[in-house]
Structure 1
Amino acid sequence: MKKAALLSIAMLGLTACSQGVQTMTDRTASPCGDKPNCVSTQDNREKYQLAPFTLTANASLDNIEEVALKLPGAKTAVKEGGYLRIECTSRIMRFVDDLELKIDGRTLVVRSESRVGYSDFGVNRKRADQLREQLKQSGLIE
């Protein structure tokens, strides 16, 4: 009985850590999959599509990152060149979503997707809307 309990605890511990991603490729140019857990400025399908984010002249990756880190549960995972990946962790269940941002000329490419589960219940769209509002208030997008 003790072995079964120890094995259960070990398995639970391993699954709790399974959302950590060491390496992830830049997916900003990729459309979302078919699950309703992703939104993107690069996707043309209505339920996944985000309106463009047009940058102002004073926008930089550094000040975009500063604004993005004010989102709930946000921390920087990757920052290189004009690309930024922010991991947003939910408070209760500790689910991780990836908010990917990439500067492309005067446009900010935005993609937010849940790592696990089928539906995100609108969380990624809400996050993108919060980001848009905060970037507008900071004078970084039009």
Structure 2
Amino acid sequence: MALGVSNGRLSPLTGKPNAVSTQTDKEALKMTPLPFNGNLAESKFQIMRVLQSLDRVTVVKEDPTYIHAVFSSRVLRFKDDVEFYFDEASQKVHFRSASRVGYSDWGVNRKRMEDISARYKEASR
């Protein structure tokens, strides 16, 4: 699966219950995008601060409107790809979090993105 942004969209999900996205049509895998916290630079800075505060994460790519980070599980070192797309037109931060292998993740990607979302919103207060 190619990662990144194409025509303002993150890659579609495969449909397996081991991922979430703000840009999917699959209701069970859908999450709400985050509002910009100030302008693009401020919003991106806050997401980077949240990522830097978490364990077992490496930012592997950062572009002006995009961040790709890889999270590793504690025990088995499974890798999950987490992407953020900063959409200036809508003033929204879209994201996608997906396991690289397996079928189910027991809600790990959703819990992670709920945590990141809560930390991001807390920083904007």
TM-score by length of 1: 0.75
| Residues in 1 aligned to 2:37 and 2:60: alpha-carbon distance in whole angstroms | 25
Matched, 1:64 2:47: yes
| Residues in 2 aligned to 1:111 and 1:25: alpha-carbon distance in whole angstroms | 10
Cα deviation per residue 1:25-45 (whole Å; 9 max; x = unaligned)?
305523311211110000122
Which structure: larger Rg? 1
Report what 1:26 is aligned to.
4
Report what 1:48 is aligned to.
29
| Residues in 1 aligned to 2:23 and 2:50: alpha-carbon distance in whole angstroms | 21
Amino acid at match of 1:132: S
The CA RMSD over aligned residues, in Å, is 1.7
Contact 1:74 1:87 in 2 (8 A): yes
Report what 1:127 is aligned to.
112
The percent identity for this pair of structures is 35
Unaligned runs of 5+ in 2: none
Select the structure that is richer in strand. Answer: 2
Report what 2:68 is aligned to.
85
Report what 1:73 is aligned to.
56
TM-score by length of 2: 0.85
What is the count of residue pairs matched by the alignment?
A: 117
Unaligned runs of 5+ in 1: 1-23
